Structure 1
């Protein structure tokens, strides 16, 4: 069967069948079965140079990450259409591969996840883009939760205005990156912190071989203990805390907010004659200010820009 998958069945057909699995009632069980049958690396194949480094073991941690994300989404009762469900499950499945880079025919190496989606399962460019965005945003949301937790441990986030502002900006930036799909990032954020989701390829020797903990058949069932009820409950609580923080800070729709000022307005305000690298930094500061001050006015934003950057400041 492995030989047929590699030589006789087109990647387009593989991708079509896989999409049916992801849209079916038990996508996690279906992918686990591929791993147990030794077909995971035939379906989710990496470029040869990476395949030789990782061996066949990466299916285990990938299945565990996918199962954890699916568990959180189900426990939250998250409403997703077929496309969103595919985005989430694919990003979770490939989370352990997020730091790998594949050689390109020309130019810089590309993310291995992008190469896998493009070449092995022949899915859409949008799937590639959303996988990368979800990986980045999930890490940012996990970092925001860490800051939020420090505030809770100290007694109150309100007691540390600087910390609250940091959390607002971190949450808002991640939400704006994912737009209307931001709740998928919240689901994936706790998964980023799992041992199973740790980036593979850092130590090729420990990642290769079917005897590794991540690659054993049993590990796809309990995730080496990371899929226990206790561990799942902790991840669910983290996701709920992130959702609560987003609602409390009024950031749920921040992905649709328009900047109070555009580039021309900023240049006019500061007396600049032409755009430059500094303009991008000012525009980013305006967006961050809006995240911190959701009810802020244009006049207040202008005052912030003038105070921080100064009218007539030399252009860089």
Structure 2
């Protein structure tokens, strides 16, 4: 029956895109069915040499390129991974055949590495990796698989091309390029159409495919987000099935779940906001994040509001997309609205929205309540050697921002770990449920813990600019020391916040901005404009940037919404609050509010406030103030840091005199 469904294609196939761009190739228009015309010179030479080796050996082996390489060639995308599937021999045996041919021609033999089967990494069969003409090529035989009910690790055996295609995850990954005959083979009978129409579909019934390997549910989400494709209705139903979701927790290791989630956020052509929204829409969020039980305090209504996290992720994507578009435009507002150089080097940008995410929605139709607005693909602006001179942004910055967005519903929640110790729920998810590095888990915990600090700072920035000279005295904790602190924006308040967050402070601002973008609009702000040039105001705490009057009304109305982090329900995705950059809308004003705060911190020279060297070291203070070693020295060092932030031009003698007066 599989053979009857098989179709072979030679010429160009016209696209019938649904919902706009869905299913188009990277260059638009048609799938590039004539793969020969798409081959790079080295690829053509490699494939030709493999055919010569087959001819020399007289084995009659049919050489096929399988999987992602074929898919991406048809879409006009780059793919350097050449996976060869062989019909009558193992990969190791074929590598020997190739080397025998090379030796007969007086050419250097290729280096061969044997990769043992590693089911936990989805390597179910021994693979030979051979370096041919400077390119590593994977060689493996066609196979069929049989799964046990309690494991995602199959028993494999030699199979036909049809059997190999049907055991693959999705039809668009089950295509072959038959090198011997120079044509694309679609053994499922649906792969080319699904690729053209932009559909993620399983070769077999999705319940069978997902029972065999539940990890494929997450791969479906990753590919749907990556290409902006729709999930087939049957696949969506299977992904929501309680049996499949339970199997995801019992048959798949947490390491593999974490790897797939990272691929959704920072993998090739990743669209993290769309991927995280898909997880929530399919009811997979709880199975993927696997938060600890018995949360303190418990979530409202007893369930974690994962949609809130998905909504903030979409807002974060819009923020980064807007920042990228402003930087690309090189308009006057770039100077005023872009992050300071130190933060910009670490900033994550998102490419201009291509529309695929919004058009694809979260289902075969556009009716899903969670359909995100145009979510751009994550890009790393400024690679080393690029004309703009900026360094490439580490993928960890992207991952941490979107992990924080996804786990925002767990902010402030803890659970009892070993020995009854209360541990952050977000930390446990990242470290234990996703098996990511403990450093990254700590960063996520810290960013979520600092949300209120930076939100209050942003609100104080607006309030101070609106009513300069006014303040409200309140009791705060300043690096371990109680003291009277002004609620107004100051060099001290900015410096302390940056010192507390260290390298995480730009991400803290981005997350705060995304959270505020999701809050219900209470009144329509005026048409936004970029933050104007900051003026300097001299105060008792030093010279600080003040927000000009022209910007005050805009920023005040932008923050007319409640100032408490996370208050109020998230807006319905795809609704008015999810519409990006409405003319006269709130979102751009909120973005400029945080851009202004970021620039103000740069104007104060506080981008790396945590690196500020103390004027007097602890042992020096002990000697000069005749104090014994103990906790009082730590408190004095904290007071000294605050004094230095308030008096950037102050001398060591003045600082020591101040500290002596506090004793």
Shift of 1:289: 1.3
The CA distance in 2 between the partners of 1:27 and 1:242, in whole Å, is 26
Partner of residue 593, structure 2: 238
Is residue 2:256 matched to residue 1:10? no
Partner of residue 453, structure 2: 140
Shift of 1:180: 3.0
Partner of residue 305, structure 2: 58
Partner of residue 280, structure 1: 634
Is residue 2:168 matched to residue 1:168? no
Partner of residue 465, structure 2: 152
Contact 1:64 1:227 in 2 (8 A): no
Q: Deviations over 1:278-310 (max 9, x none)?
A: 32221111111121222332222212212222x
Partner of residue 210, structure 1: none
Shift of 1:54: 5.5
Partner of residue 440, structure 2: 127
Q: Deviations over 1:202-243 (max 9, x none)?
A: xxxx9xxxxxx65xxx93444x83665323213202211211
The CA distance in 1 between the partners of 2:292 and 2:280, in whole Å, is 18
Contact 1:175 1:254 in 2 (8 A): yes
The 1:52–1:179 alpha-carbon spacing in structure 2 relative to 1, beyond 3 Å, is closer
Matches within 5 A, 1:17-36: 17-24=260-267, 25-36=270-281
The 1:260–1:103 alpha-carbon spacing in structure 2 relative to 1, beyond 3 Å, is same
Shift of 1:55: 5.2
Contact 1:72 1:235 in 2 (8 A): no
The 1:269–1:76 alpha-carbon spacing in structure 2 relative to 1, beyond 3 Å, is farther
Partner of residue 203, structure 1: none
Matches within 5 A, 1:1-316: 1-24=244-267, 25-50=270-295, 58-77=305-324, 78-79=347-348, 80-155=393-468, 167-193=490-516, 194-195=518-519, 219-222=572-575, 225=577, 229=581, 230-276=585-631, 278-309=632-663
Contact 2:460 2:488 in 1 (8 A): no
Q: Secondary structure at the match of 1:35?
A: helix
Q: Deviations over 1:90-111 (max 9, x none)?
A: 1222222111111223132211
Aligned residue pairs total: 290
The CA distance in 2 between the partners of 1:188 and 1:259, in whole Å, is 31
**Larger helix share, 1 or 2:** 1
Q: Secondary structure at the match of 2:420?
A: coil
Contact 1:95 1:192 in 2 (8 A): no
Q: Secondary structure at the match of 1:219?
A: coil
The CA distance in 2 between the partners of 1:268 and 1:93, in whole Å, is 50
Contact 1:134 1:185 in 2 (8 A): yes
Further displaced range: 50-59 or 145-154: 50-59
Contact 1:12 1:122 in 2 (8 A): yes
Contact 2:463 2:488 in 1 (8 A): no
Q: Deviations over 1:169-191 (max 9, x none)?
A: 22112212332332112212234
The CA distance in 1 between the partners of 2:610 and 2:574, in whole Å, is 37
The CA distance in 1 between the partners of 2:519 and 2:651, in whole Å, is 45
Contact 2:315 2:515 in 1 (8 A): no
- Larger CA Rg, structure 1 vs 2: 2
Partner of residue 381, structure 2: none
Contact 2:451 2:565 in 1 (8 A): no
CA RMSD of aligned residues (A): 2.9
Partner of residue 314, structure 1: none
The CA distance in 2 between the partners of 1:185 and 1:169, in whole Å, is 18
Q: Secondary structure at the match of 2:450?
A: helix
Q: Deviations over 1:105-151 (max 9, x none)?
A: 31322111112112221111011111122123332122112222222
The CA distance in 2 between the partners of 1:198 and 1:180, in whole Å, is 21
The 1:70–1:228 alpha-carbon spacing in structure 2 relative to 1, beyond 3 Å, is closer
Q: Secondary structure at the match of 1:102?
A: strand
The CA distance in 1 between the partners of 2:486 and 2:304, in whole Å, is 41
Q: Secondary structure at the match of 2:419?
A: coil
Shift of 1:262: 2.1
Unaligned runs of 5+ in 2: 1-243, 325-346, 349-392, 471-484, 521-563
The CA distance in 1 between the partners of 2:316 and 2:420, in whole Å, is 34
Q: TM-score, normalised by structure 1?
A: 0.81
Task: Answer 1 or 2: higher relative contact order, Cα 8 Å, separation at least 6.
Answer: 1
